[in-house]
Amino acid sequence: MSERDKSAATIRIAMLGAGTVGTSVAQLLARHQHDLAHRVGAGLELVGVGVRDIGKPRVGIDESLITSDLESVVHSGADILIEVMGGIEPARSLILSAMQSGSSVITANKALMAQDGAALYQAAEQYGVDLYFEAAVAGAIPLIRPLRESLAGDRVTKVMGIVNGTTNFMLTKMDEEGADYDEVFDQANALGYLEADPALDVDGIDAAAKAAILAELAFHTRVTLADVYCEGIGEVTKADIQAAREMGFVIKLLAIAELVADTGEEDGIVVRVHPAMIPLHHPLANVRGSFNAVFIHAEAGGEMMFYGRGAGGDPTASAVLGDVVAAARHRVLGGRGPGESTYSGLQVLDIGRAETRYYVNLDVQDRPGVLAAIANAFAANGVSIQVVRQDGHGVEAGLVVRTHSGSESALRATVDQLRSMDEVRQVLGVMRVEGEE
Amino acid sequence: MSERDKSAATIRIAMLGAGTVGTSVAQLLARHQHDLAHRVGAGLELVGVGVRDIGKPRVGIDESLITSDLESVVHSGADILIEVMGGIEPARSLILSAMQSGSSVITANKALMAQDGAALYQAAEQYGVDLYFEAAVAGAIPLIRPLRESLAGDRVTKVMGIVNGTTNFMLTKMDEEGADYDEVFDQANALGYLEADPALDVDGIDAAAKAAILAELAFHTRVTLADVYCEGIGEVTKADIQAAREMGFVIKLLAIAELVADTGEEDGIVVRVHPAMIPLHHPLANVRGSFNAVFIHAEAGGEMMFYGRGAGGDPTASAVLGDVVAAARHRVLGGRGPGESTYSGLQVLDIGRAETRYYVNLDVQDRPGVLAAIANAFAANGVSIQVVRQDGHGVEAGLVVRTHSGSESALRATVDQLRSMDEVRQVLGVMRVEGEE
């Protein structure tokens, strides 16, 4: 511990929410009391826990601290308010109210940060308090702090991550066990991995909220959930996964934010969530089950990856407590954490401006000239073909094409044209390809 | 950018050293001037660069800033001193002198931090300045800040990393190309990857310095280079690597710091650097070439890994500039970075107390009862065998044993006993095994 200031009074902590994460936070605060006091330079004391349902049993939290009077918790004069109740309201109003009362806020609320982060940042600024949210993205993995602070002297060009453990669990099962979508959905459900509204997971909405948060930090540009292009995993079939595997790829639900520059059009960023094929040798390919990982490319720093547990009570609580220590140290030693940084004000561009590659699987006529006609369709849209593989012939004739990098709009136009061609009986599958140079 | 304080004067930066890293730092400071000013809330200005050899050409640094009068740089009244000259002296005295003059210090000097970090921390404390050293371990990878800050609310139990890019490049070449040690040594030398004194790389000394720094941060206990057990890669043969590969393992030079508790003896930590076999499915196994990665296990956060470029001008400069932004923000907004944290004061235990597994390759007599005799030798030392594989017979009889987890001292005693047995013609290879549960 620093010798700087041992005179500090106790740091008082209030908490909203006492579910899995809140319970872990309370338990860790108690268990690591001694360590935390040394690391902060003052003791930490939990002074109130607000819950919606007072009747639920809570293990490891002093009953006398629990109340359903959320306002009283917010106005308890705590140095730090931890918000782990989730949802937009009343979390939003309670946080703003706590900041007004002078509390620093630690939140794990990705939906709120992605939807209305600006209002929270502004209040933190106005009332001179800290706002930390490491737990909102990728659970225990230190990611927000590295992006906001460690990479603050560099220029990030791309962030690409597996940030939803449930869908990664499902895709991993489909890949490793050859299960189909409905089976793995049921398994995930039975294991309690799915959100109350499963669409948040499988439609990519949870991942999109995290993508918005990461994009804002990486590019110093305000990004909200509404700016994120989003496709879920509902259309991914066992056949897609097998085809990918045969070509040396694996399918992952990726959250991607990247700089699109020097294309002759206006610079900006594209933020998107969709399933994509990535090569088996890519660091993200080995991220299995419910693990999360985020790959970052920075101009000077080069490629880096952060890997770990993206969810669960203890991992999320670990991230919350790291932020608690930071905010508490500011109470003891002075100083403030970083505020909102949106000075770049880049355009958030349409998905059409993204640069990607396509994999296209076609059921084609078996007659001379078909390959030439199809190659022409790609060329007409300015899309360059990297690999063509022809399978079978006669009524079974199939053609698999992987393209070089092109704009999403050109790739889409190509697929539309393919769909309209006599030579193409059916477009069997289309998937974006990421992680190849 | 925060709106908090735009009135701040320029932050003045001085630098010692203008080699590969220093040149990158100066170039990035100029190229990212606009971004950095927004992120800090004040402009950053390079006011002096001290070098030992004034005659060398320096690209991208204003010549008028360069001087060989190192003292004048230190006493230029800079807000921040960047030290990227390396070596113990004069770096150490110059840093202490700069702190006394009120400069915050950013250093990439792992040798100095590992040998005499305590003196630097103490001076930073005494003079109320920041001391940051993200670039000292694993180049561009944010690692020091996550350990010091993000994981400050958790309890780290193990840190295990590939932290020397040169030896990882060499071992990767031996593995992927079947090259032998002398060949890859020559290649690394030709590519300029080796330190002026190659022993720093191949004998594990560079890795040991980084292990000491990581161990101190992870366990809040003072650890210096002298506390680190260290074996290099000079004894690793092509045959070892092939044998490992056949069993589904790869050999890496690992830096490991871990808590040894609940063994009935005194708790403490063991810090060690040595080659070890890790299973191919382990996240560290895919860290190839000159990349670095550090795997951390924390009680609540679980397993996490940080991966990226461990060396090179730009990656190291990226880490330096992240620290510059942090220290500069403290000048603008108040506050201080974390100081030394050694409150735990754990014992640094002898390597004998480490818990590990052994792989042992034996040339044995081919006669009945040999396996039983050997199994008895393991049992007599309390070491449990996980796998035995018998290869060939007659004069070619070989026996490969992989053990369950045991104390290093018991494992060593077993190997000593094997060496003395008539049944064992020769102990062909012994290697520790890490990363298995």
Q: Identical fold at A149-308 and A354-433?
A: no
Q: How many residues are given for chain A? A: 437
Q: State how far residue B174 is from chain A, nearest Cα, in angstroms.
A: 19
**Which of B267, B274, B416, B413 lies closest to B352 in space, CA to CA?**
B413
B155 CB near a chain A CB, below 8 Å? yes
Class of the CATH domain delimited by A149-308: alpha beta
pLDDT in tens, B386-395: 999 887 666 6
Burial class (CB in 10 A: 0-12, 13-18, 19+), A397: middle
Residue A22 half-sphere exposure, CB side, CA atoms within 13 Å? 27
Contact A308 B303 (CB under 8 A): yes
Question: Strand, coil or helix: what is B265?
Answer: coil
**Can you give the pLDDT of all 437 residues of chain A as single tens digits?**
344 444 458 999 999 999 999 999 999 999 999 999 999 999 999 999 999 988 888 888 999 999 999 999 999 999 999 999 999 999 999 999 999 999 999 999 999 999 999 999 999 999 999 999 999 999 899 999 999 999 999 999 999 999 999 999 999 999 999 999 999 999 999 998 998 899 999 999 999 999 999 999 999 999 999 999 999 999 999 988 998 998 899 999 999 999 998 878 888 999 999 999 999 988 899 899 989 999 999 999 999 999 999 989 999 999 999 999 999 999 998 889 999 999 999 999 999 999 999 999 999 988 888 999 999 999 999 999 999 988 766 666 789 999 999 999 999 999 999 999 999 999 998 999 999 86
Q: How far is CA B84 from the centre of its chain?
A: 17
Residue A373 half-sphere exposure, CB side, CA atoms within 13 Å? 17
Q: To the nearest whole percent, how much of chain B has pLDDT over 90?
A: 83
CA–CA separation, A390 vs A362, rounded Å?
10
CA–CA separation, B152 vs A83, rounded Å?
19
The 10 Å Cβ neighbour count of residue B296 is 27
User: Which residue of B lies nearest to A317 if distances are taken between CA atoms?
Assistant: B300
Q: What is the pLDDT of residue A9?
A: 81
Q: Is residue B263 scored above 90 in pLDDT?
A: no
Q: Which amino acid is at B80?
A: I
A286 CB near a chain B CB, below 8 Å? yes
User: Which residue stretches of B41-88 are H helix?
Assistant: 70-74
> Taking the CA atoms of chain A, what radius of gyration do you get in angstroms?
24
> Taking the CA atoms of chain B, what radius of gyration do you get in angstroms?
24
CA–CA separation, B78 vs B328, rounded Å?
11
Q: How far is CA A191 from the centre of its chain?
A: 21
Residue B399 contacts residue B431 (beta carbons within 8 Å): no
Q: What is the pLDDT of residue B5?
A: 43
* A-contacting residues in B 206-225 (Cβ below 8 Å): 220
| Reported ipTM | 0.92
B174: enclosing H helix or E strand: helix B165-177
Contact A339 B2 (CB under 8 A): yes
pLDDT in tens, A220-260: 999 999 999 999 999 999 988 998 998 899 999 999 999 99
Residue A145 contacts residue B149 (beta carbons within 8 Å): yes
Residues of B carrying an active site annotation: 210
CA–CA separation, A317 vs A301, rounded Å?
29
Residue A377 half-sphere exposure, CB side, CA atoms within 13 Å? 22
Distances (CA, A) of A19 to A54, A69, A350: 12, 16, 38
- Which of B278, B292, B304 to mutate: most A Cβ within 10 Å? B304
The yes-or-no answer on residue A210 being catalytic is: yes
Q: Is residue B7 scored above 70 in pLDDT?
A: no
A340 interaction partners in chain B (CB closer than 8 Å): 2
Contact B314 A334 (CB under 8 A): no
CA–CA separation, A16 vs A93, rounded Å?
12
Contact A300 B321 (CB under 8 A): yes
Query: Quick one: tokens of A94?
Result: 């309670």
Q: To the nearest whole percent, how much of chain B has pLDDT over 70?
A: 97
B294 CB near a chain A CB, below 8 Å? no
Q: Which CATH number fits domain A354-433: 1.10.8.420, 3.40.30.10, 3.30.70.260, 3.10.129.10?
A: 3.30.70.260
CA–CA separation, B224 vs B214, rounded Å?
10
Fold classification of B11-140+313-333 (topology level): Rossmann fold (3.40.50)
Q: Which CATH number fits domain B144-308: 3.30.70.2340, 3.30.360.10, 3.60.20.10, 3.90.1150.10?
A: 3.30.360.10
* B-contacting residues in A 236-275 (Cβ below 8 Å): none
Residue A72 half-sphere exposure, CB side, CA atoms within 13 Å? 11
pLDDT in tens, B142-174: 999 999 999 999 999 999 999 999 999 999 999
What residue ranges in A84-212 does DSSP mark as E strands? 104-107, 131-132, 156-162
Cis peptide before A90 (omega within 30 of 0): yes
B145 interaction partners in chain A (CB closer than 8 Å): 142, 145-146, 149-150
Q: DSSP state, A132?
A: E
CA–CA separation, A11 vs B397, rounded Å?
67
Q: Show Cβ contacts of residue B63 under 8 Å, excluding neighbours closer than 6 positions.
A: none
Residue B169 contacts residue B311 (beta carbons within 8 Å): no
CA–CA separation, B245 vs B248, rounded Å?
5
Contact A339 B220 (CB under 8 A): no
Q: Is residue B4 scored above 60 in pLDDT?
A: no
Q: How many residues are given for chain B? A: 437
* B-contacting residues in A 64-123 (Cβ below 8 Å): none
A104 conformational bin, left if phi > 0, alpha if psi -120 to 50, beta if neither: beta
Question: Which DSSP string do the residues of A176-187 spell out, in sequence order?
Answer: HH---HHHHHHH
The 10 Å Cβ neighbour count of residue B178 is 12
A13 interaction partners in chain B (CB closer than 8 Å): none
CB-nearest to B283 from A3, A307, A319 is A307
Contact A339 B4 (CB under 8 A): yes
Domain residue spans in chain A?
Answer: 11-140+313-333, 149-308, 354-433
User: Which residue of B lies nearest to A283 if distances are taken between CA atoms?
Assistant: B286
CA–CA separation, A309 vs A253, rounded Å?
16
What residue ranges in A30-93 does DSSP mark as E strands? 44-50, 66-67, 80-83
Contact B334 A329 (CB under 8 A): no
Distances (CA, A) of B334 to A137, A335, B329: 28, 5, 7
Query: Quick one: tokens of A3?
Result: 């010798």
User: Which residue of B lies nearest to A335 if distances are taken between CA atoms?
Assistant: B335
Residue B286 contacts residue B242 (beta carbons within 8 Å): no
pLDDT in tens, A196-219: 899 999 999 999 999 999 999 999
